[in-house]
Amino acid sequence: MEATISRADRLAALREPRPWDVLIVGGGASGLGAAVDAAARGYRTLLVEARDFAAGTSSCSTKLIHGGVRYLRQGDFALVRNALRERSYLLRNAAHLVHPLAFVIPAWNGVDRIVHAAGLKLYDVLSGGHAMAASHSLSRQEVIAALPGLRRAGLCGGIRYWDGQFDDARLAITLMRTATDLGATCLNYLPLTGLLKTGGRITGARLRDAETGEEFEIAARVVINATGVHADRVRRLDDPAVAPLLTPSQGIHLVVDADFLPGRQALMIPETEDGRVMFAIPWQGKVLLGTTDTPRPELQQLDNPQPLVAEIDFLLRTAAKVLTRPPTRADIRSVFAGLRPLIHPDSTDHRTTAALSREHAVLVSAGGLVTLAGGKWTTYRLMAEHAVARAAEVAGLPAEPCPTRTLKLHGCPADAGSDVYGTDAPLLAALPGHDRPLHPALPYSEAMVRFAIRQEAARTIEDVLARRTRALFLDAAAAATTIERVAEIFAEELGLAPGQVAVMIATAHENARRFMPPSPPAG
């Protein structure tokens, strides 16, 4: 078995008096990407995450590595071009986690068909040398063959185009492992609680171990704030009077069984009643329906946003218009909500976040805090490249070239087609429970739980069921029935006392309810 770096070892590194070159706060796509970049440039790198890696927005995306067809409509060509370039790097450097997926846009009249075909030709052009396959028109019969679950009345044809699909939380864990391979120290359950300053400049940070309450004061040449929708809170630790940068917008997804959209191709509904696009996407043996775009400027509690009834109704209503078998509330296997960390242009009205750009920003405060905000999963590498280059300037670190365009991520196999464990698969196969399924309806083994605890820094049952496996995202009720068994494995692996296990189990049941579909209305 590969050598593991225990939490105790990682915490011990915090007690060394040597300053860190770069401290990154936040373990989502932005922060983990920055940790890989900083470590790959040879900087002594520490990343701290308040909860679990990807516990925020980064596990709740639509799971697409895409240029963003809908951004074409907004004329955001630079964003689309950058994203398409990043898509091609990811297909190569994370071949175990990102794969091509065909999307079909049905057309119910000839004008729509021409408009969509023209838009997608532009998408092909912006792909340049990075195109996956060119888009092309489909006849009515071809659309029906590609999407057997689609309503046929009035259908006149469609367009097929290609984008990337991935497992967001697994990519986050893979980035954490890549950064660790490169020498970074990455710790979950370790929030930043304060910034240390000397003569008005940030020189370090105060951290707290959420498991034990132990406090740490560490020295760092530069601090990167990559806390997603929490970024303004961290910016206020530096300057309490700073104007807000972000305007959170909520997006939810429903997960239903695969037979609502049989086949391997995704459906893009080009225009819903709120003027956005909606997807029905095959993912890990289920279908994802999403998403919404609900401004949530009033949210005080940014952790664990809750789906609104109106959002669930909207997705079910929209799906019912286009699928032969309309899903109902009783068909929902899981529901999850995420908050987009959208940049808030000064004049922006909170009610129109669908029109805001997903572009990112790197800001440096007077005290030297580098904030990386906005963006999307697809462009995490580019965002990290910009943020780390800026951070190195702020810290006066030697300028090093960014090597991540060609850097293979942890576990990346030589050929596509492996599962998400990539080259780690033999390590997994050697663990006890490799042949024992966790649950008959879920594609996970007991060995995966042990692997998550030993190799992937899982600390809670939810870490295992939501972000090392995706059980809670696929079928929340089935996942909840595995909690006691996962707890037993934790007890064996970490030598936990019965009292600790009981608390773990109670917390896991409470957290699992967040993914549970709402009860169907009475009557």
The residues that touch ligand FAD, with contacts defined as CB under 6 A, are: 25-31, 48-51, 55-58, 60-64, 191-192, 226-230, 234, 251, 291, 338-341, 375-378
Query: For residues 222 and 489, which CB has a smaller minimum distance to ligand FAD in the complex?
Result: 222
SS3 state at 92: helix
CB of 173 to ligand FAD, least distance (A): 13
Query: For residues 164 and 368, which CB has a smaller minimum distance to ligand FAD in the complex?
Result: 164
CB of 363 to ligand FAD, least distance (A): 14
Query: For residues 227 and 445, which CB has a smaller minimum distance to ligand FAD in the complex?
Result: 227
Per-residue H/E/C for 347-368: CCCHHHHHHCCCCEEEEECCCC
Quote the CA–CA distance of 502 and 498 in Å, as a whole number: 6
Name the nearest CA neighbour of 169 among 308, 284, 1, 37: 284
Quote the CA–CA distance of 205 and 203 in Å, as a whole number: 7
Name the nearest CA neighbour of 459 among 435, 486, 482: 486
Query: For residues 67 and 517, which CB has a smaller minimum distance to ligand FAD in the complex?
Result: 67
CB of 96 to ligand FAD, least distance (A): 18
CB of 282 to ligand FAD, least distance (A): 14
Q: Which residue has the tokens 């087609």?
A: 417
CB of 375 to ligand FAD, least distance (A): 5
- Are 277 and 270 within 8 A, CB to CB? yes
CB of 142 to ligand FAD, least distance (A): 26
Query: For residues 338 and 517, which CB has a smaller minimum distance to ligand FAD in the complex?
Result: 338
Output the CA–CA distances (angstroms, integers) from residue 293 to 74, 315, 340, 354, 455, in the order listed: 15, 11, 9, 6, 36
CB of 166 to ligand FAD, least distance (A): 8
64-65 and 246-257 as β-strands: parallel, antiparallel, unpaired? unpaired
Reading the block at residue 488, the tokens are 């037993």
Query: For residues 206 and 434, which CB has a smaller minimum distance to ligand FAD in the complex?
Result: 206
Quote the CA–CA distance of 56 and 338 in Å, as a whole number: 7
CB of 18 to ligand FAD, least distance (A): 21
Output the CA–CA distances (angstroms, integers) from residue 77 to 359, 372, 373, in the order listed: 11, 21, 20
CB of 264 to ligand FAD, least distance (A): 18
Query: For residues 31 and 517, which CB has a smaller minimum distance to ligand FAD in the complex?
Result: 31
Quote the CA–CA distance of 172 and 492 in Å, as a whole number: 26
Quote the CA–CA distance of 413 and 409 in Å, as a whole number: 9
Per-residue H/E/C for 242-278: CCCCEEEEEEEEEEEEHHHCCCCCEEEECCCCCCCCE
Looking at this protein, which amino acid is placed at residue 462?
A: E
Query: For residues 191 and 433, which CB has a smaller minimum distance to ligand FAD in the complex?
Result: 191
CB of 445 to ligand FAD, least distance (A): 27
Name the nearest CA neighbour of 271 among 327, 340, 328, 321: 321
SS3 state at 84: helix
Quote the CA–CA distance of 39 and 42 in Å, as a whole number: 5
CB of 293 to ligand FAD, least distance (A): 8
Query: For residues 343 and 394, which CB has a smaller minimum distance to ligand FAD in the complex?
Result: 343
Reading the block at residue 480, the tokens are 């909840």
Query: For residues 58 and 178, which CB has a smaller minimum distance to ligand FAD in the complex?
Result: 58
Query: For residues 334 and 378, which CB has a smaller minimum distance to ligand FAD in the complex?
Result: 378
- Are 281 and 336 within 8 A, CB to CB? no
Bridge partners, 103 (sequence order): 161, 266
